[in-house]
Amino acid sequence: MPLVAPVPALDALRQPKDRAEMFSQVREWLRSAKRDDLARAVRDLSREHRHAILRFCWQDAQGGVRAVRAKELYAWIADLPECSGLDPEVDWVEEPLDGAVADTGPVLAEDLDAVEPPPGSGLPALASLRGDARVPATEVFQCLRAWVRQQRAEGRLAEAGAELSPAYRARVFAFLCDFAKRKSIFRDQAREMLLRLGELGAWRSGGAFDQVAFDEAIASS
């Protein structure tokens, strides 16, 4: 048996056929790497591969029978310098920034012009979407809902989305996915908004869309 267990394949991490089995493989690799030199094992992977492992652990840590164990695994690697700048809440984007030389692989949506929405747009700040600000989630949702309604009425919902950074759109999707799974009188409206935005290519582009999180939010009861 090798000192360090085989690392799960990148494609399998992104689209596991059996999530429980994939979790076992990730845990075995992390445990064996931790016994040897976890930082070195992570450093030997591409940044894209590191992100896939980080994201897999983060997703399982959000809830379910494996949440406690997944949080432990996530904690082992999240603070490593080798994982600096990797955001598990955002999909990996397959294209580099315009004019940039991609010598470390593709970039994350979080790295793509992560700017606030235009002043006076009526959209909530990034901090509010992340939950960092002291603004109730229902208030943030109502703000988003009013903005979407206005853009739809003006016939420019797709165009308005294209004017926002991929990082901001990713945060909008992440917020709505989380909000749609909460026990709230607005959960049906949140799912409706998710479906509306999710069908627009301008909103999904740039790695802003997480199909797994979207499907889970829509299917939640």
* pLDDT classification of 211: cutoffs 50, 70, 90: confident
- State residue 45's pLDDT score: 83
**Token output for 199:** 């069908």
Residues 6+ apart with CB under 8 A from 91: 108, 109, 170, 207, 208, 209, 210
How far apart are alpha carbons 93 and 208 in whole angstroms?
8
Q: What is the pLDDT of residues 49-105, one digit of tens each?
A: 889 999 999 999 998 899 999 999 999 998 888 887 788 888 875 433 333 333 333
- State residue 221's pLDDT score: 55
How far apart are alpha carbons 109 and 141 in whole angstroms?
22
- β partners of residue 92: 108
Strand locations in 79-131 (E): none
Collapsing DSSP states into helix, strand and coil, what is residue 92?
Answer: strand
108 secondary structure, DSSP code: B
- State residue 102's pLDDT score: 35
Q: Which whole number is the average pLDDT over 35-60? A: 88
CB 125 within 8 A of CB 144: no
202 vs 72 pLDDT, higher one: 72
Q: What is the pLDDT of residues 133-184, one digit of tens each?
A: 678 888 999 999 999 999 999 898 998 988 888 888 888 999 999 888 887 7
How far apart are alpha carbons 125 and 107 in whole angstroms?
23
- State residue 129's pLDDT score: 86
How far apart are alpha carbons 199 and 158 in whole angstroms?
10
Q: Which whole number is the average pLDDT over 179-197? A: 88
Give the mean pLDDT of the chain: 82
Name the phi and psi angles at 92, rounded to 5: -80, 130
- β partners of residue 108: 92
